[in-house]
Amino acid sequence: MRLVAVIALSLIATACAPLWQQRPASEPDLLWQLRHKALVKFDQWQLQGRTAITQGKEGWNAGLRWQENHGAYQIKIEGPFSQGGVTLDGDDRQAVLTMTNGQKISATDPEVLIKEALGIQLPVSALRDWVRGIPYSSIKVDRLELDAQGQVTHLVQQDWDISLLKYVPFGNYSLPTKIFIKNQDLSLRLAVTRWNHIE
């Protein structure tokens, strides 16, 4: 009962302020619970940025445009690879990769599609959660570190190590703008220059 009362009082005290403006509670976990609940429902957004991908001895720098709309996504990777850029469209049933020359390749799994077409093991499904600053919902969380505002700063899931180094206010949220992701074979650095709502 005491825990319920603490949570209720915290909700009342912070209900009128955006999450990123709330003063740190004595328990960052409480703010994290509020953030997580809100960000899971945040499924209509756009981001623009740049990414640097390194796999083995190869590396690519690319522009990135990403749009999510209720589970449907479009990811444009601009400028890398010999093709000059690719677009990935998909949802939970199918992913379609469009090359610069117009060639289309499809698969049920976006990771398999990217691997077969471009030779990169890119964790597309997990990135859809990580870019919002929350764990990927389909795999176990091995490590989760929070700052005083309840924002994830370090996350380990399976063999992926994710560092979220910077957040910015965005409406009633705070969202990452600098993310480093790595495993044994690949590293990805993502710098988000703009977040947008979509209708």
Domain locations along the chain: 44-197
Tens of pLDDT along the chain (199 residues)? 544 444 444 444 445 555 545 555 458 999 999 999 999 999 999 999 999 999 988 888 999 999 999 999 999 998 765 456 899 999 999 999 998 888 999 999 999 999 998 888 899 999 999 999 999 999 999 999 999 999 999 999 999 999 999 999 998 889 999 999 999 999 999 999 999 998 7
Q: Which CATH architecture has domain 44-197?
A: Clam (2.50)
pLDDT value of residue 161: 98
Give residue 100's pLDDT: 84
pLDDT, position 12: 46
Give DSSP secondary structure letters for the chain: -HHHHHHHHHHHHHTTS-GGGSPPPS-HHHHHHHHHHHHHT--EEEEEEEEEEEETTEEEEEEEEEEEETTEEEEEEES-TTTSEEEEEE-SS-EEEEETTS-EEEES-HHHHHHHHHS----HHHHHHHTTTS--TTS---EEEE-TTS-EEEEEETTEEEEEEEEEEETTEEEEEEEEEE-SSEEEEEEEEEEEE--
